[in-house]
Structure 1
């Protein structure tokens, strides 16, 4: 399998010494930076810029034909969005300051600052990636469309907040930076991770592991693998999940429960982009993108000293929050139909009809277990159902509500409503009060559900109930 070039744009190395270009290329490739172009004639820079997708130029200051200063000036005028790092054989403060004033991203001395140069190049890559992601996000916002809607087909929703999550994932799809997915248990964080992997079009697989409860040794062995003889019983080498996810995505679920010692190892992996299999003193490059998820409140755990602040800030480079089901009740009817079909197929039964009041009943429930809880409700109801229409009793039991005729399905009246001809007709106000009271009884005094039963907003119903109480006082 051919490795995916990193970063997503090319880095142009410009120096009149081919030996230095070769040496710098090898150094960068050992750091996992592989999308490189080399140029030993500064006059060719303009042609390369026209025909290649270049996001960073590393430019020698002293060259024949066109000096680095001249090339920098041209780049600032023609390609202002491209970062430029200047290299010089001499440590000259005035020259460095002059280049920075002209718009260079940074300035380094060739022979004395290799570690600083590598950090500066990584920083410039990250800045350029963030700039490109921001541009992509602005385009998404302007066009309000999805470029790859098929990647999100498994997520049943019409809610605007979820649509915004999809658009954001598309905008950061090509980034190698981690994604932090937060949300309550059961909201579908793994589905979001799968969609993020699909939309990234990475060549490797999605590898998933739940890290909750893993001690430090098991965590290290699971992710990093081990060499033969690394510990008792290690009779052969075993690749870790990072290696298995090469050119793909590594999804770490329940990251908020990771032990402090394992947090340090994960932080090093994200910062350095490399890891050591157990028993090995040779570093391996991480060629997988990392996505993490948690139901924990990471800022709160950080304040309690249970989650590292530096790891939290590293993870939240890209962050999405999945709202709970109670905040997107419009999705409940869609999910209900979806799980009804799945459950009937899995159990080998014909899908029963849905009671008219079921969706409204469920929309008045808080769903502490979110989508996972709704799915379990539907499967349980299908497994117990013996009628052509799905019964409500199993749902009511799961919601902690005793079955009652007041909230049972209503049989449509076959005759008109009867008014006693010897009595005066009630006023519209009186009819409205009776309707509100009937809805409150059927909804077991749940105002949100009662409001849906009669087609008004919950604040409007609350206001009317308050007027009724004030009138009785």
Structure 2
């Protein structure tokens, strides 16, 4: 498949120098070492402001000593008229005074024309990342302020009516085009892979999404899977094998379960992200990575860092953009929406007519904490539909799956529980057992939406016993 040349970064970089050989040399170095190819060249200092007026520029690499207009004069004009454009001064003069003067005028950095090409490229990379982050933060603020989505169709696979999820959508849409990695976190079953697919669609890249689950891969398998190998790299390597990085060219490389990656493999991934290049096994010729990276995990990487199981430098690289997906138990309004969707999906897959369900089912599910999140709800629905025979869906299958229910520990109810606890602690005298029992019964009936069958399961007593307590409460009023 042929792809047109993709430009990096997303904004244009203007190189200004009256010496054409230096412009050519620097352009080659930037593209070879860092993949920077969205470059505009200018040898005439008097043309610079006109070029910038075309728009789309984020960085200017500016020679200090040029005919007609000197670099410091241009620097003043650029910072005044285009304050969002970052300027790096590149000079043949290795003196402190000009460097200090340029920094005071607003230059981001100052480099001397020497043979230290790598240092200059690193400096340009830092500036690009700073400009990208500034643009992304501005975009995030704008989207959150106006509560808008530019590409709502990209999220059609993710069913939700929750406000916190909409905020996650807005953030993901703002950072999806970034060249920096995106870290997706959330409990098992919340739909991290769906978010990775959405990030890929929003990114605008032309290549494919290539997914790898790295859990359980030893270092050799990880290297071979990611980097590929040359013939003779090991005994069974008879021909070239393209790694997943090469297969994801001009697209997205998605690494799932990144929290399970061995420390040795973490080092290799860190070098890949830092340098943007890699070596296939058995090869001494490096290849450039031209795909963006998305990673996901259900583990707490902060705890793994503290335990020495996950490298801090890799974590900081990966979490440049962090998307956290809230669990289902804190977005209970999504349960009816997902329930109806999975009912239709299951009925179609199993060749059955879509069943209706009793109103009590939504209440029953709303009081379950769903440790397996959306995936667990989907499995419950499929199991219930597979055994369904009458017109109305039975609650029995769901009750068997849920088992002995307890009060959900999270969500809005948890705050109420904490308030009650504070009342008990601050009270001069503790409430009686009778008062606590009445409070527990009232709370269970509230959460069960008045359904005695569900309320009795919540507090672990039989329905007749609950009914008896409710009658006593009414008599005592």
Please report how far the alpha carbon of residue 436 of structure 1 lies from its aligned counterpart in structure 2 after TM superposition.
Answer: 4.8
Change (3 A) 1:346 1:439: closer
Please report how far the alpha carbon of residue 391 of structure 1 lies from its aligned counterpart in structure 2 after TM superposition.
Answer: 1.0
What CA deviation, in whole Å up to 9, does each residue of 1:262-301 have, x standing for no partner? Answer: 0000001111111111111121111111010001100000
* Secondary structure at the counterpart of residue 181 of structure 1: strand
* Secondary structure at the counterpart of residue 93 of structure 2: coil
TM-score by length of 2: 0.86
For residue 381 of structure 1, the aligned residue among 379, 384, 388 is: 384
Which residue in 1 is equivalent to 2:10? 8
Residues 203-222 of structure 1 mapped to structure 2, 5 A cutoff: 203-222=206-225
* Secondary structure at the counterpart of residue 65 of structure 2: coil
Contact kept in structure 1, 2:404 and 2:457, CA below 8 Å = no
What CA deviation, in whole Å up to 9, does each residue of 1:14-70 have, x standing for no partner? Answer: 000111111111001102111001101111111110114110000011111111111
* Secondary structure at the counterpart of residue 443 of structure 1: helix
Residues in 1 aligned to 2:153 and 2:107: alpha-carbon distance in whole angstroms: 41
Is 1:336 the counterpart of 2:339 in the alignment? yes
Residues in 2 aligned to 1:436 and 1:218: alpha-carbon distance in whole angstroms: 55
Which residue in 2 is equivalent to 1:443? 455
For residue 164 of structure 1, the aligned residue among 167, 175, 190 is: 167
Residues in 2 aligned to 1:436 and 1:86: alpha-carbon distance in whole angstroms: 70
For residue 29 of structure 1, the aligned residue among 26, 31, 52 is: 31
Please report how far the alpha carbon of residue 254 of structure 1 lies from its aligned counterpart in structure 2 after TM superposition.
Answer: 0.3
Contact kept in structure 1, 2:364 and 2:454, CA below 8 Å = no
Please report how far the alpha carbon of residue 75 of structure 1 lies from its aligned counterpart in structure 2 after TM superposition.
Answer: 0.3
Please report how far the alpha carbon of residue 397 of structure 1 lies from its aligned counterpart in structure 2 after TM superposition.
Answer: 0.4
What CA deviation, in whole Å up to 9, does each residue of 1:119-176 have, x standing for no partner? Answer: 1100000000001001111110121010000000000101111101100011112111
Residues 179-258 of structure 1 mapped to structure 2, 5 A cutoff: 179-258=182-261
Contact kept in structure 2, 1:440 and 1:446, CA below 8 Å = no
Is 1:137 the counterpart of 2:150 in the alignment? no
Which residue in 2 is equivalent to 1:271? 274
Please report how far the alpha carbon of residue 445 of structure 1 lies from its aligned counterpart in structure 2 after TM superposition.
Answer: 4.5
Contact kept in structure 1, 2:30 and 2:37, CA below 8 Å = yes
* Secondary structure at the counterpart of residue 64 of structure 1: coil
What CA deviation, in whole Å up to 9, does each residue of 1:328-381 have, x standing for no partner? Answer: 111000000000001111111111111111111111111111111000001111
Contact kept in structure 1, 2:445 and 2:455, CA below 8 Å = no
Please report how far the alpha carbon of residue 238 of structure 1 lies from its aligned counterpart in structure 2 after TM superposition.
Answer: 1.1
Please report how far the alpha carbon of residue 441 of structure 1 lies from its aligned counterpart in structure 2 after TM superposition.
Answer: 4.8
Change (3 A) 1:277 1:436: closer
Contact kept in structure 2, 1:440 and 1:447, CA below 8 Å = no
* Secondary structure at the counterpart of residue 295 of structure 2: strand
Please report how far the alpha carbon of residue 315 of structure 1 lies from its aligned counterpart in structure 2 after TM superposition.
Answer: 0.7
Contact kept in structure 2, 1:10 and 1:35, CA below 8 Å = yes
Residues 13-412 of structure 1 mapped to structure 2, 5 A cutoff: 13-30=15-32, 31-401=34-404
What CA deviation, in whole Å up to 9, does each residue of 1:427-457 have, x standing for no partner? Answer: xx9xx98x95974554234279xxxxxxxxx
What CA deviation, in whole Å up to 9, does each residue of 1:364-417 have, x standing for no partner? Answer: 111111111000001111111111111111111000149xxxxxxxxxxxxxxx
What CA deviation, in whole Å up to 9, does each residue of 1:55-89 have, x standing for no partner? Answer: 00000111111111111111011011111000111
What CA deviation, in whole Å up to 9, does each residue of 1:290-336 have, x standing for no partner? Answer: 01000110000000000001111111110011111111111000000
* Secondary structure at the counterpart of residue 45 of structure 1: helix
Structure 1 unmatched ranges of 5 or more: 403-428, 449-463
* Secondary structure at the counterpart of residue 210 of structure 2: strand
Residues in 2 aligned to 1:158 and 1:281: alpha-carbon distance in whole angstroms: 52
Residues in 2 aligned to 1:22 and 1:439: alpha-carbon distance in whole angstroms: 77
